[in-house]
Amino acid sequence: MDRVINIDINDKHDLYEPYNDNYLNKDLIDYLIRQGMPFKKKDKVTIEVDNNVRKRKNFEQILKQSLKMEKNRLQQKYRDMNKKQASWFIMGAIIILLGYIISESSALHEIIIVVGSVPIWEAISIELFKDTEIRKKIKVIDLLLKSQIKTI
């Protein structure tokens, strides 16, 4: 299926960062990612840009560079989330193990088990919700990097 994303630029500040003309506006990148979702592997994306915009610098090169930078930022965020997830899981496992070793009373044992399960559930929550959102955005950026850019 072919998908077309239209970019209607009224002014230079809609296109570039306010203090650096070498990068696309963050809002524009977010718009492209939102328009790319949901997608299928067979989707082909075409980005249509106003002809006036294309004359400014090398728009295609700046678009690809900005998308690659956003992809790198998301990949770093994904790695950080995985580290956080591992630390939550390890912390929960240690608390639960300490609960089995230390506690002799059943009430204290139950409290420690519950307290230890909270970080484990946090690790699961990160995997199920936050990581999937980042992975979807990375896949959309890959699709956008392969897309064709046309002027209208």
Confidence (pLDDT) at 52: 62
- Highest mean pLDDT (candidates 47-51, 108-112, 118-122, 139-143): 118-122
Could you check whether the bond before residue 119 is cis, i.e. omega within 30 degrees of 0? no
**Interval 17-21 mean pLDDT:** 74
Closest listed residue to residue 78, CA positions, set 33, 131, 133 = 131
Q: Copy the structure tokens of residue 96.
A: 């639960």
Neighbours of 77 (CB within 10 A): 15
Is the pLDDT reported for residue 127 higher than 90? no
| 138 in Cβ contact with 78 (< 8 Å) | yes
Is the pLDDT reported for residue 39 higher than 80? no
pLDDT digits (tens, 9 = 90+) for 45-103: 777 776 565 555 677 788 888 889 999 999 999 999 999 999 999 999 999 988 888 76
| 96 in Cβ contact with 113 (< 8 Å) | yes
Q: What value, to the nearest 5°, has the Cα angle with vertex 36 and ends 15 and 16?
A: 10
As a whole number, the mean pLDDT across the chain is: 81
- CA separation for the pair 116, 130 (Å, rounded): 21
